[in-house]
């Protein structure tokens, strides 16, 4: 699998990144530890070298599983993790990083990201300069190699950049959720930030495996996802039917068509999770799907039958 440069760094990342929110289990159902470990190892064997996690996924449990799965293959992988919004004071950032290093069984984190901006989820307001100061210190000490942010607005990103180099933005981005294209993507292109798109399959919706009337248990995060609620869900189903003929023409799945479209966008890589090794191998094959300019235009037009009806709120879930 071809690799791409992470921002202005010398770190090489793959266009498909293995996401491990599900490995933490919180917000997910039916996840088995060994299956996820097998999936990570299968993804690496299939050419995906970049893995993304966070301290908040299962309160560190996801990071522990990443460490178990990849600890003895550390020289082959790029590890990205995140510090949560309630740990953004300088001393908290340092402590959180040390804990993540231990759980990940590594001496250095390749990409360390602010998961949500200060104040999110009723967290304490911390000046971005203080947080960035701690991140710059960790970078100077060699404990992290690059700094990224996630779920930041353009204004928040611009302010953070005044305190140090940021090499990536991690926003929600998929065929069915494209708010990043308005202000954030142009900024990332101009300043050479890599976009690490999360929920790149709209939490499975873009795979086409969920039909009309799909219901999720309240413990499943998708029960709160706006795309799974009417009328957006019905619009998504209609769009998927239109996309199916394009996927068939390329002898690929709906999910891999959506991933191929996403990694063809400027500066963009796609974070995609997997519950088992079969899913991981299938996701990896999306990197081989070559879309023409006409394909991209057709997919874009179909996508907008959904995205034109999205709420202005950039958060994908109704957390209540």
Residues catalogued as catalytic = 57
Residue 243 phi, psi (nearest 5) = -70, -25
Secondary structure of the chain in the HEC alphabet? CCCEECCCCCCEECCEEEECHHHHCCCCCCCCHHHHHHHHHHHHHCCCCEEECCCCCCCCHHHHHHHHHHHHHHHHCEEEEEECHHHCCHHHHHHHHHHHHHHHCCCCEEEEEECCCCCHHHCCCCCHHHHHHHHHHHHHCCCEEEEEEECCCHHHHHHHHCCCCCCEEECECECCECHHHCCHHHHHHHHCCEEEEECCCCCCHHHCCCCCCCCCCCCCHHHHEHHHCCCHHHHHHHHHHHHHHHHHHCCCCHHHHHHHHHHCCCCEEEEEECCCHHHHHHHHHHHHCCCCHHHHHHHHHHHHHHHCCCCCCCCCECCC
Residue 277 phi, psi (nearest 5) = -65, -35
Those residues with Cβ within 8 angstroms of residue 249's Cβ, 6 or more apart along the chain or in another chain: none
Q: Taking the CB of residue 266, how many other CB atoms lie within 10 A of it?
A: 10
């Amino acid at each position: 699998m071809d690799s791409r440069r992470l921002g202005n760094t010398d770190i090489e990342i793959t266009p498909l990144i293995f996401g491990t929110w599900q490995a933490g289990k919180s917000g997910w159902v039916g996840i088995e530890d060994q299956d996820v470990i097998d999936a990570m190892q299968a993804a690496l064997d299939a050419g995906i070298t970049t893995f993304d996690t966070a301290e908040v996924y299962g309160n560190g449990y996801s990071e522990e599983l990443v460490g178990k799965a990849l600890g003895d293959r550390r020289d082959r992988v790029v590890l990205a993790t995140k510090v949560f919004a309630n740990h953004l004071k300088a001393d908290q950032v340092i402590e959180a990083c040390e804990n993540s290093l231990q759980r990940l069984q590594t001496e250095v984190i390749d990409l360390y990201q602010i998961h949500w901006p200060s104040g999110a989820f009723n967290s304490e307001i911390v000046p971005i300069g203080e947080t960035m100061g701690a991140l710059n210190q960790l970078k100077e000490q060699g404990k992290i190699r690059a700094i990224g942010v996630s779920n930041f607005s353009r204004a928040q990103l611009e302010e953070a950049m005044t305190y140090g180099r940021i090499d990536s933005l991690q926003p929600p981005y998929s065929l069915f959720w494209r708010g990043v294209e308005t202000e954030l993507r142009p900024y990332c292109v101009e300043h050479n930030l890599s976009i690490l798109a999360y929920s790149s399959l709209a939490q499975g919706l873009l795979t086409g495996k969920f039909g009309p009337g799909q219901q999720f248990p309240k413990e499943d995060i998708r029960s709160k996802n706006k795309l799974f609620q009417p009328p957006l869900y019905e619009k998504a189903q209609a769009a998927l039917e239109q996309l199916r003929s394009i996927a068939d023409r390329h002898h690929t799945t709906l999910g891999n068509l959506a991933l191929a479209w996403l990694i063809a966008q400027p500066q963009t890589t796609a974070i995609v999770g997997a519950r088992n090794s079969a899913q991981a191998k299938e996701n990896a094959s999306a990197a081989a799907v070559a879309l023409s300019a006409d394909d991209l235009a057709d997919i874009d037009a179909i996508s907008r039958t959904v995205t034109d009806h999205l709420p202005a709120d950039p958060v994908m879930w109704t957390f209540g």
